[in-house]
Amino acid sequence: MQFTTPLIRGTLIKRYKRFLADVTLEDGTVVTAHTANSGSMKGCAEPGSAVWLSPADNPNRKLKYTWEIVQVDGGGLVGINTSWPNALVADACAAGAIPELCGYDTVRREVKYGRNSRIDVLLEKSDTGEKCYVEVKNVTLARDGHAEFPDAVTARGAKHLVEMTDMVAEGHRAVMVYLVQREDCHAFRVAADIDPAYEKALALAMSQGVEALCYACTVTPEAITVAQPLPLKLAPAAAPEPVSA
């Protein structure tokens, strides 16, 4: 995915109210940028960090900039805009860049399914009607070389796992794709200390046939590209409690 207009570099003053960030541009101007990320952005919102903003296409938009990228400790770049992962994965599927999701004829986004939800990406085979439901999760948190999800408690994420399990029960394929918008990690794991319920929900879903993949991205101020897969380090589902006689 190429940025259509050149990004503007600045220095983060602070992120606040979840969706706002004050940034000092290189000419000294202070602007408020939209932050399209509902997570905690743990490790990715340190005051003084170098950031890159995209200018708004709509001249009537209240906030004239959107925060796209941050440079974290160690110098790596991280894409923090959660508006991009669905498109990145859909385009990668269409281009055959995710081998595990190849062989499908159509790629559609935001398709209604389940209990009044929308699946991020729906893959289908025209000859057999086979469907693959793909749920995409944006990953920005990294600790000890591991990409981790979530960076905040996510009841919504656990709900998605239940709906994906329902699709498997109906005979379809269901795949979680954890898209890491950074390239300084060597493996993926669930941030169980942040959301132990999500770790259990993912383990349960996988024990019932939901698949999981993780791919890292190459991030530059010019483009974000789906790159190499990362190995998963996931906890197994807990054994059921024995039934007493």
User: What structural domains does the chain harbor?
Assistant: 8-79 (2.40.50.580), 85-229 (3.40.1350.60)
Cα gap 163→177, rounded to integer Å? 15
Q: What share of the chain is helix, strand, coil (3-state, %, to 5)?
A: 15, 40, 45
Residue 36 has what pLDDT? 96
State the pLDDT at residue 245: 46
Neighbours of 192 (CB within 10 A): 15
Q: In the numeric block, which tokens belong to residue 209? A: 């046939």
Task: Give the mean pLDDT per block of 10 residues along the chain (245 residues).
Answer: 96 97 98 96 97 91 96 94 96 96 95 87 94 97 97 93 96 98 97 97 97 98 97 77 51
Overall pTM surpassing 0.75 (yes/no)? yes
| Cis before 150? omega within 30 | yes
